[in-house]
Structure 1
Amino acid sequence: MFKILDKKEIAPNTFLMEIEAPRIAKACLPGQFVIVKADEKSERIPLSICDYDRKKGTVTIAVEALGKSTQKIAAYDAEQGFDNFAGPLGQPSNLVHMDLEELKNKNIMLIGVGQGAASIYSQIKWLNEHEINADVIFGCKSKEYILLQEEMKAISSSLYISTEDGSYGYKGLATDLLRELVEKEGKRFDQVIAVGPVAMLKSISEVTKEYGIKTIVSLKAIMIDGMGICGGCRVTVDGETKLTCLDGPEFDGHLVDFEELIRRQGIYKTEEGHVCRVGLHEHS
């Protein structure tokens, strides 16, 4: 059993969970993910590693309770535990493979949309620990959905927040704010790293391609085993088939076939919606 040491709600239906997992904490790097299985009969759910503490032996994840499986995971409380917590999986962020001195001379922008804010936190923290400055854009629906604001503000050069309804920060999408920074404030970025919904990653990649900014996107493709056996997370990158769980989750955003990926993601929506409705009815 992988015990939950701490749990707190950080936004509506979104929970931060610190899990006791010393082997994973010792081995993981920014950009990787874990697969969580709540109990013996549950499905395996891939979740990004938000943070890790090698000394404490803990890994922190953020869970948004949307579907039946994530609702089940989010319902667990501190001192309870998951049946399985596998990882670290996937390739680390490309940042960890770059020359540190070279990184210090680059203008880096990390963009997290929705749950993507939790996913990019480990990368911002890694950069900060190596004395590398980075700007951050966090986009969400409204003020109540802002995640880890104070934590990210403390370790980034500049934190920009956009809300779709204008209830906090910039009114508009993360892509609109990026354009504002580049075109009106004269900001220049050598590299963008983005995490969020696939449709938003597509939009971000289209904007950065206009400006000639190298862009890395972390894809949240559908996964079953997370070890390259099922092929469910395949994605086309520069005309070649890649597996998100083994080759990713990070890829060059300008080379990803987003249209194909969006179509494949949509295949499962009807069934998931049916399962959620049935589950809610049974427990009402």
Structure 2
Amino acid sequence: MTRFAEKVAIITGSSNGIGRATAVLFAREGAKVTITGRHAERLEETRQQILAAGVSEQNVNSVVADVTTDAGQDEILSTTLGKFGKLDILVNNAGAAIPDSQSKTGTAQSIESYDATLNLNLRSVIALTKKAVPHLSSTKGEIVNISSIASGLHATPDFPYYSIAKAAIDQYTRNTAIDLIQHGIRVNSISPGLVATGFGSAMGMPEETSKKFYSTMATMKECVPAGVMGQPQDIAEVIAFLADRKTSSYIIGHQLVVDGGSSLIMGLHCQDFAKLLH
């Protein structure tokens, strides 16, 4: 028996990076998974990786949808229930630091950037969670929210809206954890540090620049004390830990930091990224 046998999981933002690694891991461990994202080709790559791991097509529900919309949320949930009949685990992973349309940073960023960033990183989590709660109540299920070390006490002056959204997710996790445990639902969150995903590209970096960014950061002990760049699989394993009631049943409303030691010093915020990448 694998640890997620007979479990049904939704992993948002699973067309790339952490979400993809989590979906493959959960499916390999026996879960029936709904994978979802906005990009059909990348989502199909995730589906193919799951099938290549020996998972039956019957255990995969692939939904091209925009999780920031009510219609997208409803489709994700309704197709999951329609195909699998229940929901045990919700991983709210979809998120990004959305670049400003005028390439502004800090307080110069537009209100439109704020709206888009909060809509993706916070509102969609709240909306999908509310819709999932009745079904998770029936199964005594699990919610794992993906936050970031950007939510901490240190400043992230270039991308304030992203850090605001993630700080709100931390508080939302704590509040909902206490509210929902009375219904048997556990809520926890994970705060990754630097992880080699498509995050840099989503911020507007060319692919080669993004690779250079990650490789450079990994060599700087004042940025990543572990000396190695985090990989999506590293975070996926921790998500699985928090989603497995057998291993983490007494953990309620916790924010688990997974960052190679970065948040203990946060030297990365003192770097001139533009200079490093040239």
TM normalised by structure 2 equals 0.38
Q: Which has the higher strand share?
A: 1
TM normalised by structure 1 equals 0.38
Q: Which has the higher helix share?
A: 2
